[in-house]
Structure 1
């Protein structure tokens, strides 16, 4: 009787590993934000290196504080975008679960999007704490969720470039 080889080197194509990666991003993001909010007062900054600080900042807008000065509607708008993005990503992961680089990109983006949605729902703003600076110029503060989205976007571009060059 033939049996299924459980130790086959054939890659799995299920969605579970990708959801797991997104969950790890969410967990690291939320734990880091909880830690920073417990250790820092709003606006407080501590130098780590000559070009990097930890700082507690709130962002009511999107990337680079886009729409942060609006009256509050942006909270719901960016929350909805994050939820819709996560649902679309789950659908795409189901359809393309065997494409490793593409799914890594999607999982990181989804984890980051959900991490920031959690902040918007719970606090009305996103908690940022990573501050990179050089020669008096500061990059807008960001967090682990933002970093995951950035890395995921980079992997997505890399995957597309590889696909085009085939």
Structure 2
């Protein structure tokens, strides 16, 4: 796959991700939900941490929430730069399409959530008990402290777990509990592709490494 096609894929995912987030942010108050099907809901929540709502300050108790948020945003920016380099390098080396598509999906998803983290605190006001305004006089937070907008919820099964299940028996449980967005889907899909199609994705690199090693031996 060419870099042009990979870039087009990234742009399409980013557009879908950001349009859906803008729509939710400007049409829904926080925690407002619409039941599309019994097993699928549009539920507006905001996430200022990592996956599953985890915060760095929960792990490193010595730092404040704001410092942890800033550190997480900067880490995401550095990570997406590294992923971008990986993508360009894989295209340059004519890597397998499955590898390039997977990296492009991860890059697009990471960049989509970075946009939220960097800019949303400035370009929106808060969504508590109201629908947010786009480009208000004062945003809900400063740059680099925005919250990621999530809205896709799939409560496929809800109920009380049997008491015979260790540790969680008798508890009320929802599968699938997390709320996510299009960017999260892109990242998960890309990582899933790398895991499932591992041999196909990295076969080209293994061949190149083997040829390089063989050439070194012949030289010696």
Whether TM-score is above 0.5 comes out as: yes
Shift of 1:81: 2.5
Runs of 4+ deviating beyond 4 Å: none
**Residue 30 of structure 1 pairs with residue 30 of structure 2:** no
Partners of 1:91 and 1:43 lie apart in 2 by: 37
Moved more, 88-97 or 48-57: 88-97
Residue number in structure 2 paired with 1:52: 40
**Residue 113 of structure 1 pairs with residue 110 of structure 2:** yes
Residue number in structure 1 paired with 2:180: 142
Residue number in structure 2 paired with 1:128: 150
Unaligned runs of 5+ in 2: 59-63, 122-145, 160-173, 208-220
Partners of 1:15 and 1:103 lie apart in 2 by: 9
CA deviation digits over 1:98-119, x for unaligned, max 9? Answer: 3210011110011000110000
Unaligned runs of 5+ in 1: 1-12
Q: Considering only CA atoms, is the larger Rg found in Structure 1 or Structure 2?
A: 2
Partners of 1:73 and 1:103 lie apart in 2 by: 34
Partners of 2:81 and 2:100 lie apart in 1 by: 14
Is the 1:60–1:74 contact (alpha carbons within 8 Å) kept by the matching residues of 2?
no
* TM-score, reference length from structure 1: 0.83
Partner of 2:152, secondary structure, is strand
**Residue 159 of structure 1 pairs with residue 182 of structure 2:** no
* Count of residue pairs the alignment pairs up: 153
Q: Alignment RMSD, CA only?
A: 2.0
